Chains A and B, each alone.
Chain A
Amino acid sequence: MASTNTVVRPGSTKSRTSGWAPTARKLTPYAFLSPTVIVMLVLMLIPVIMVIGYSFMDNVITNKNPVFVGIDNYVEVLSDPVFRTATGNTLFFTLVSVAAHLLLGLGFAMLLNSPLVGNVTKALFRVVYILPWLFTVAIIAVLWRLMLNPNGVVNYILISLGLTDKGIEWLSSPDTALLAVTFINIWAGYSFYMVTLLAGLQGVPADLYEAARVDGASAFQRFWNVTLPQLKPIIISMSVLDIIWTSQQFALIWMTTGGGPVNVTEMLSTYTYKLAFSRYEFSVASASAVLILLLTMVLAFFYVRHQKARD
């Protein structure tokens, strides 16, 4: 009888273990994912939700008991002439930068991919062309501030060549400041395009060019009908990403002009920063940040749709 009491029915053991095992199997991937998910929640989703919440309050952080004010902060931002100036400047800065990045990057990539250039020369120019991309924004800002100083090397060259009789205030004059920071940004960013497009060019099958040649295509026609269509997916992805990055450029502007003189280089990023850390209007700054987020999300939507279409 005792033996009967100690018998463990296989079925009951199986049901216990089989009940746990599928659950554990299902939970395991989630457990592995959980650190990333938690980090994303804590560092991205929650702050974004908080900022959206702040944008509907009268003021936060400096006000211990903020109250809901609806869309007042959005109305204040949108009716601020400086915000409109910043939007215009950001559009100019972004579109000119991205277009120039693309043209310069593609031009240099094709130059380096040309069979006419020897391997040693190619390697040398690759290093030279990629240098701007290796510098941090702080270095780039300091470098160009020194070079574009009224007593700097750029003016020295121009005066020596007789192109101007006195130093131009590149970053301090309202006539040249926006062009100057845009130029610096172009210089700092074309290398990324060049490297990526060069990789793309090296992946274009040689027989496509050969077939085009047999069909009597000129060099321009080969570029237009073979090179560009082959690079199109890379160009679209890079351009969308570059628009997003450039429209959010803050450090370069802040360290070269600070948005001046008289707002001529004010961007949406510097405008928002000043609202938060100079005027301590954290709710109005949040409203401005949410508007930038919406603009960026539109671009991100097109990027994701393009990526999906590629897949």
Chain B
Amino acid sequence: MSKEARFRRGVTTAVAAAAALTLITGCSSGAGSDASTSGGDVTIELAQWWEPELPDGALRTLMDTFESENPGIKVKLLSGPYASTKEQLFAGAAAGTMSDVVGLDGAWVSDFAKQGALADLSTLMKDAKYDDSELASTIKVDGKTQMIPVVNFVYPLFTNDDLLAKAGITTPPSTRTEFETAAKAVTALGDNTSGWVLPLSSEAPNGIQNDVMSWVWSSGGTMLDDGKPDVTNKDVTGAVKYIKDLNDAGVIAPGSATMKEQDKVEEFTNGRVGMMIDSLSHIDLIRTSNPDLKFSISAIPAKDGFTGERGIPYASWGVGVSASSKHPAESWKLVQFLMNEKTNSELSTLANAFPGNTKSVPDFTSSDPLFKQAFDIYSEGKPANEFVGLPVAEQLMRLFDEQLQAILQGDESVDDGLKKAQDAWVGEF
């Protein structure tokens, strides 16, 4: 072999080895730190699903304000859809690379707390001498504050005005009897029209929280006893029997068992159902998809004769701080910024949600009039969501969902189904 050939072979070997080395370093460089310090500035990460759901650039503008008010702190936004944010946070918590500040859903908190992934916000508040009296609520697990709801989305009853009027119903139902009457009247209109829509897909079982347990909470009921499962009590049994009656009367839109939230909204938007329980955040979507649809919102009907404070289901954009953050003080400053009166008002206005700061008031001047009406419903009742802070909340919903489907199909009685759900929930706890 010539000298040149030997040289060439040596070079190719080196190049191949270098390529392999590059690959290894390339693979490993992904596991970088969750925050960095460069040029005297501290960069903290905020992982959330909010940015895609807000108007373009809105969250970044808020972060620019934060950066200008807190020189030396930069915020890097890590945004993704809701479901992938959850998976990303779980992976980050397991690998110790969770972002400094994280967007949280109340249903995740217990599981992250179990992993030891979240910092105790009480300690951070104490260190920063923060007065938490303005916070509407905090979510605690084992006595430690793990999440602060930044904004809340409530789930009132949506009614199709035209369908109800055609069925002879002039006002949205306020009691269970009125609701049943309205649902039957709308269904009787025929032409594939149903009174109510109930999504029970086991892929996304949040229908149990929003569309089933809301009947319990709206009448001041509970599904827990001292923080433990109690789904065989008279509140839950009564609500499930009521839903079973509605099902037997044929007023629930067909396809319930595999229907998801977006299917529910689509059925309502297309004018095929008279009533649904849904998030206020879908008002704009409904208006855009069907500008001719006339609809109203009202509180979820309660048991006949109920005079107490009505619970209204809600979902939150919550916030927490990673236990592995290298910059907890700076991270807390960001949380504090999100929760201050001015930012919280602005964020709730942008998100069409209700503020997590008791002093904040959303600006309804340029929003849909229904938001103002919803704010009144929200102010008159009390936010209720007992799944917040429960362990494996989504699995609890799924287990209940399976039993409810069996009950609705007539495979088991209400009492037997709820007994099985109770046993399954106790097992998960």
| Chain A interface residues (CB < 8 Å from chain B) | 17, 20-21, 24-25, 27-28, 31-32, 34-35, 38-39, 42, 61-62, 64, 145, 149-151, 167, 169, 171-174, 177, 254-263, 274, 277-280
Contacts and interface: CB of A to CB of B under 8 A. Distances in A.
Interface string B20-45: 10011001000000000000000000
A257 B19 CA distance: 45
A81 B151 CA distance: 41
Contact of A24 (B9, B203, B204, B272): B9
Contact of B23 (A28, A35, A263): A35
B255 interface: yes
B255 A174 contact: no
Instruction: Summarize B's interface: helix, strand, loop or mixed.
Output: helix
B247 interface: no
A274 B398 contact: yes
B6 A21 contact: yes
Given A24-B6, A38-B23, A262-B409, 5 more contacts: A31-B16, A35-B23, A169-B255, A257-B202, A260-B203
Nearest to B398: A278
Nearest to A253: B203
Contacts of A256: 258
Contacts of A38: 20, 23-24, 27
B192 interface: yes
28 contacts: A17-B6, A24-B9, A28-B13, A31-B20, A32-B16, A34-B20, A35-B16, A35-B19, A38-B20, A62-B115, A150-B254, A150-B255, A169-B255, A257-B201, A258-B201, A258-B202, A260-B200, A260-B401, A260-B402, A260-B405, A261-B409, A262-B405, A262-B406, A263-B402, A278-B395, A279-B392, A280-B111, A280-B392
Interface of B: 1, 6, 9-10, 12-13, 16-17, 19-20, 23-24, 27, 87, 90, 94, 111, 114-116, 192, 200-204, 253-259, 272, 392, 394-395, 398, 401-402, 405-406, 409, 411, 428
A172 B394 CA distance: 20
In this complex, the member of A34, A256, A261, A263 whose beta carbon has the largest number of chain B beta carbons within 10 angstroms is A261
Nearest to A62: B115
Nearest to A180: B258
A146 to B, nearest CB: 10
Nearest to B18: A31
A145 B114 CA distance: 37
B415 to A, nearest CB: 18
Contact of B258 (A35, A151, A257, A274): A257
A172 B256 CA distance: 7
A169 B254 contact: yes
A42 B25 CA distance: 12
